Structure 1
C-alpha cells in the first residue's frame, strides 16, 4: 500500500449505504491483525448495523416540512412576538438546503413563499435567516433560481440591501442577490432591469467591508460576461468609484483585492475603461504603484499584486498606443 493510500481518509458518507460502507472500511482499518484489503462485513453484523442506523436516521423531508409549517405563523409579521420556534425552523432548513434535492423539495412543499415573506419581517433575525437560506438554495441551482424569481423576489432583496437598518441583513441580502443572479440569465436580466448596478454602487460606497467585497465580486462577474454591462458600469462611474475605494487608507486588504480585480477586468475587457484609467486627474498609476510598494512580495496579497501589475502593464501599453496614434495624425 502506498503512502498516499495509507494516509487517505475514507470518503465521508452522504446516505445510509455510504455510512455502512464507511463503517466497513473503518472496521477493516482497525483490524490490524487481518489482511490489508477491505473485508466483507459479516451479514448478521451488517443487518444489525443497518437496523440500528435506520432507527437513528432522520427523515430530512419530514423535518423540513415541520420547519416550514412552523414558519407559517403570524408571529413572523408581528413585532415583539416570541419567534424562538421560527428561528429554530430556519436553523433546521439551513442543515439541508445545500443539497440540491432538498432545495428542490423545499420548493415542492411550498417553502419558498414563506422565506420571501420573512424578508419583510420586523424581526431582524428572520430577515437575516431568510436571506441566507435564499442564497444557499439558489447558489448555482438554475431550477431554484428561476422558481425563486417567479415570486418577484428581486425588488424585495434590492430594497433590503438599500434600506435595511441592520448591516448584517444588508450583507445577507446582497449575498442572496448574487446567488440568484450568477449563471442565471433571467436573474441577471431582472437585476439589470431593476437598476441593480446602482444598488451595487451604493453598497460599494457604504464603507461596510463585506458590502464592498460582495458588490465588487458581483460587479466583476457581470462585466466579464457582456459588453453592455461594461458600458453601463463605466458610464455610471464605477472606475472612479473603485479607485476611490483603493485610494482610501481605511480600505482593508480583502476589499482591495476584489476592487482591484474588478478594475482589472474592466480595463482588460473594455477599452473605454482603460481610457478612464489613463485620465491624469484620476492618478491611477500613482495609487497602484504606491500600493504595490506596500505589498510587494507579501504572501497574503499575492493576488492583488498580480492584478495591480496587470493593470499597470495595460496602462503602459495603452499610453504607448495613444502616443503612436498621435504621431500618425
Structure 2
C-alpha cells in the first residue's frame, strides 16, 4: 500500500508556501491549483470544506465529483509505493560494480540516500531483503569510491538496528568479516567510521554476531582503532567495547592483553571533551570486578589517580560534566579499595 512520502534523512520538511487564492481553470470550472506540499494540501482541504463551517442550521453538502477526483489525484501525487521505489533504486545499484574510479558516483550515492529514507522502518528493512536488496551491499562495500563505500556501510548499519531478522541475514552472509576488513585497511577514515557503526549495530544484543566478530580477530581490530586517535573512531570503539564487556565479561582480560588500558589512559587529556566521557565509561567497565584491569590501572607509570583528581578539579561545578565526574569517582573508589 502506498504510504506518505517521507523527507530525506536529517532534512526537515520545509514546504514552500502556496500562493493564496491561486486557481487553475479546468474547462469552464475554476479549480484551485494542485497543492505541491502537505501544507498546500491542508490548505486545499480547508478551503474545500468551507461550507461545513457555515451556521449549524445550514444543510451539509457533499463534495462534488470533480473536487473529489481532484483531491484524490493530489493525494496520489504526494504518496509513493515504497517497495516500488526501493526496487527502482536497487535496479540502479545493480550496476554499481561497473563504476570506475574516475566515474562520477553521484547517481549511485543518490540511490543509496533514497533507500535510507525508508529502511529505518523495520518492516521496510525486511522487505528490502525480500525483494533482493542485499545483492547490492557487497558491491557497494567494495566500490573504488569512498562515497559509495560509506553509503554501503550506512545501509548495513540502519538495516540491522534493533532488527533481529536483518542481523541474522548479515551474520549468515559474511558481512562481519568484510566490515572488519574495512575498519582495519580502508584508507578513508569516514568509511572506517561507518563500518564500525555498522559492526556496532550488528553485534548489539546479539551474542552470535559478537562471537563471529571475535572469531575473525575482531576484538583486536576494534581495540586498535583507538590508537588511530580519531575522536569519532574512539567514540564508536569505546561504546562497542563497553557493550562487549557487558555481554561477555571474560573479554576484559583479553582487552588488557591487547594493551587496551594503557591506550585508553594515554588518550585522556585534561581538556574535558566528550570523547573523555566514553573513555572513562569504558575504564569503569573494565575495572568492574576484574583484578587484572585494576592492577594495570594502578601501575605507577600511568599515575592514573593523580590524573583523575586533577581532571575532577577541572570539571567541578560544571553540570555538563556530571556524568564524567561520576565515572571518575567510581574509578577512584575501585583503585582506593584495592589499596586498602
- TM-score tier after normalising by the smaller chain length: 0.7 to 0.9
1:159 and 2:181 matched: yes
1:114 aligns with: 136
What is the root-mean-square deviation in Å for CA atoms of aligned residues?
2.8
The CA deviation at 1:202 is 1.5
1:253 aligns with: 273
Q: Quote the Cα distance in structure 2 between the aligned partners of 1:169 and 1:137.
A: 17
Unaligned runs of 5+ in 2: 5-37, 54-59
Q: Quote the Cα distance in structure 2 between the aligned partners of 1:217 and 1:296.
A: 24
Matches within 5 A, 1:39-50: 44=63
Q: Quote the Cα distance in structure 1 between the aligned partners of 2:277 and 2:102.
A: 42
Matches within 5 A, 1:69-108: 69-74=91-96, 76-108=98-130
Higher helix share: 1
1:218 and 2:240 matched: yes
2:261 aligns with: 239
TM-score when normalising by structure 2? 0.78
Q: Quote the Cα distance in structure 1 between the aligned partners of 2:295 and 2:205.
A: 29
Q: Quote the Cα distance in structure 2 between the aligned partners of 1:96 and 1:165.
A: 30
Q: 1:42 to 1:301 in 2, by over 3 A?
A: farther
1:170 aligns with: 192
Unaligned runs of 5+ in 1: 1-13, 35-40, 321-329
* Deviations, residues 216-238 of structure 1 (Å, cap 9, x unaligned): 11000100122221221122221
1:263 and 2:286 matched: no
* Cα pair 1:260 1:307 within 8 Å, conserved: yes
1:66 aligns with: 88
Q: 1:289 aligns with which of 309, 313, 325?
A: 309
Q: 2:328 aligns with which of 296, 303, 308?
A: 308
* Cα pair 1:267 1:311 within 8 Å, conserved: yes
Q: 1:232 to 1:75 in 2, by over 3 A?
A: closer
Q: Quote the Cα distance in structure 2 between the aligned partners of 1:86 and 1:110.
A: 17
Secondary structure of residue in 1 paired with 2:288: helix
* Deviations, residues 231-269 of structure 1 (Å, cap 9, x unaligned): 2112222122111111x46x7612110010000011123
* Cα pair 1:213 1:258 within 8 Å, conserved: yes
Structure with higher RCO (Cα < 8 A, 6+ apart): 2
Q: Quote the Cα distance in structure 1 between the aligned partners of 2:234 and 2:195.
A: 13
Q: 1:119 to 1:308 in 2, by over 3 A?
A: same
Q: 2:338 aligns with which of 293, 304, 318?
A: 318
The CA deviation at 1:127 is 0.3
